[in-house]
């Protein structure tokens, strides 16, 4: 029996996920190489929200407000961007295994970001723009390479993504030779997924860009639901298929480019989170998009908290943590979904 989606259900689901995210953020602020008392966390948050002075010590204030809080907010924004980008690419390509990392889109965005460093230095606007262009061109290339006649083969698509990612990684390795020793060390860690370095753009502008990308995909959630039955059926029901695909294509590339420009190539979030949300809440994109954004923020924040606490005071690349979980799940999905017709978004046929 199919459950009818209502605004009340969407609101309850989003409130539940938002509550889990806030609880996790509170815990993440308290744990780390230097643990903070929960009272100090509460006092610091009150100061950040109201500006009222508190009894927070200077050391605790610096750790909480200038180290952990910006990093936690960055993890939330990047997780939401990668989760929604994954859901968008899965809808665009009608392949449940589509993901910015697996398809090489993250590598394309990383290549664009590194090119901007080589050619434009530390210009704050250049890196996100270059990463967006890299992501856009990469997904376009993978899309056309994955086509076999009028259809989009899931096998060919994944192969095209793997080959493209490998080629772009080789180009990145080549470009690293043009960076200085100090920049090279930072970029090498950044490429594995890093949320510890200051973002090259203000968090407010980053959040606004990601929110715009999420809103654009959510605006076509209804047409995406109709596209699950095939393009011909969707067009018969009045869907402008070309316009819908273009919006998802550009918005998902923008979200990926923004995420990679500030965090490096973090894999498997865009693959695992949409699947988890579909399993728990269904595949209606009117619920899937906001739930994926919040769940992506939860997953990446949890991964980053583990990355900076498991072997504290040493930090692990957050991309390594997501890969440890994501790679086995991807192998399972690859073996269970590809031999037959995928049961995710669409049938894996023509896009």
Query: Could you give all domains of the chain from N- to C-terminal order, each with its CATH number?
Result: 68-337 (1.10.3470.10)
Q: Is the peptide bond before 333 cis (omega within 30 degrees of 0)?
A: no
Q: How confident is the model at residue 116, as a pLDDT?
A: 84
- Which pLDDT tens digit goes with each residue over 168-191? 989 988 888 776 665 666 677 778
Q: How confident is the model at residue 51, as a pLDDT?
A: 78
- Which pLDDT tens digit goes with each residue over 229-281? 888 888 998 999 889 989 998 999 999 999 998 888 898 899 889 998 998 99
- Which pLDDT tens digit goes with each residue over 26-42? 999 999 888 888 888 88
Q: How many Å apart are CA 253 and CA 139, to the nearest integer?
A: 8
84: pLDDT strictly greater than 90: yes
Beta-carbon contacts of residue 130 (< 8 Å; ≥ 6 apart): 112, 113, 115, 116, 120, 261
CB contact at 8 A, 253 and 136? yes
Q: How confident is the model at residue 119, as a pLDDT?
A: 80
Q: Is the peptide bond before 111 cis (omega within 30 degrees of 0)?
A: no
User: What mean pLDDT comes out for the span 99-104?
Assistant: 86
Q: How confident is the model at residue 147, as a pLDDT?
A: 72
288: pLDDT strictly greater than 90: yes
8: pLDDT strictly greater than 90: yes
Q: How many Å apart are CA 326 and CA 92, to the nearest integer?
A: 22
Q: How confident is the model at residue 124, as a pLDDT?
A: 64
User: What mean pLDDT comes out for the span 287-293?
Assistant: 97
Q: How many Å apart are CA 53 and CA 56, to the nearest integer?
A: 8
Q: How confident is the model at residue 328, as a pLDDT?
A: 85
CB contact at 8 A, 300 and 226? no
Phi-psi bin for 121: left (phi > 0), alpha (psi -120 to 50), beta?
A: left
Q: How confident is the model at residue 59, as a pLDDT?
A: 87
Q: How confident is the model at residue 348, as a pLDDT?
A: 41
Q: How confident is the model at residue 34, as a pLDDT?
A: 84
- Which pLDDT tens digit goes with each residue over 296-337? 999 999 999 999 998 878 888 899 899 888 888 778 777 775
Q: How confident is the model at residue 252, as a pLDDT?
A: 92
User: What mean pLDDT comes out for the span 140-151?
Assistant: 74
Bigger pLDDT: 349 vs 163: 163
DSSP-assigned beta bridge partners for residue 151: 148
Average pLDDT over the chain, rounded to an integer: 85
Beta-carbon contacts of residue 141 (< 8 Å; ≥ 6 apart): 160, 164
pLDDT tier at 152, thresholds 50, 70, 90: low
In this prediction, what percent of the chain has a pLDDT beyond 90?
Answer: 37
């Amino acid at each position: 029996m199919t459950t009818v989606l209502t605004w009340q259900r969407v609101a309850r689901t989003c409130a539940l996920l938002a509550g889990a995210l806030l609880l996790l953020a509170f815990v993440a602020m308290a744990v780390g190489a230097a643990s903070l008392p929960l009272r100090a966390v509460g006092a610091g948050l009150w100061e950040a929200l109201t500006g009222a002075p508190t009894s927070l010590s200077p050391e605790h204030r610096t750790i909480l407000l200038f180290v952990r809080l910006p990093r936690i907010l960055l993890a939330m924004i990047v997780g939401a961007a990668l989760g929604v980008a994954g859901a968008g690419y899965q809808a665009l390509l009608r392949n449940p295994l589509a993901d910015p990392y697996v398809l090489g889109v993250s590598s394309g965005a990383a290549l664009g970001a590194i090119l901007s460093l080589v050619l434009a230095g530390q210009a704050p606007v250049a890196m996100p723009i270059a990463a967006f262009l890299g992501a856009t061109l990469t997904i376009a290339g993978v899309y056309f390479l994955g086509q076999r006649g009028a259809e989009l083969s899931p096998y060919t698509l994944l192969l095209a993504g793997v080959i493209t990612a490998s080629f772009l990684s080789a180009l990145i390795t080549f470009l690293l030779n043009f960076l200085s020793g100090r920049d090279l060390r930072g970029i090498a860690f950044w490429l594995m997924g890093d949320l510890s370095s200051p973002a090259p753009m203000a968090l407010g502008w980053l959040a606004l860009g990601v929110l715009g990308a999420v809103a654009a995909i959510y605006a076509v959630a209804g047409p995406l639901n109709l596209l699950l039955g095939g393009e011909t059926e969707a067009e018969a029901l009045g869907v402008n298929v070309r316009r819908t695909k273009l919006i998802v294509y550009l918005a998902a590339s923008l979200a990926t480019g923004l995420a990679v420009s500030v965090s490096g190539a973090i894999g498997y979030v865009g693959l695992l989170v949409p699947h988890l949300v579909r399993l728990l809440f269904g595949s209606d994109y009117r619920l899937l998009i906001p739930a994926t954004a919040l769940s992506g923020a939860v997953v990446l924040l949890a991964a980053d908290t583990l990355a900076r606490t498991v072997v504290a005071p040493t930090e692990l690349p957050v991309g390594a943590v997501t890969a440890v979980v994501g790679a086995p799940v991807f192998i399972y999905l690859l073996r269970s979904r590809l031999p037959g017709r995928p049961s995710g978004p669409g049938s894996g046929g023509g896009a």
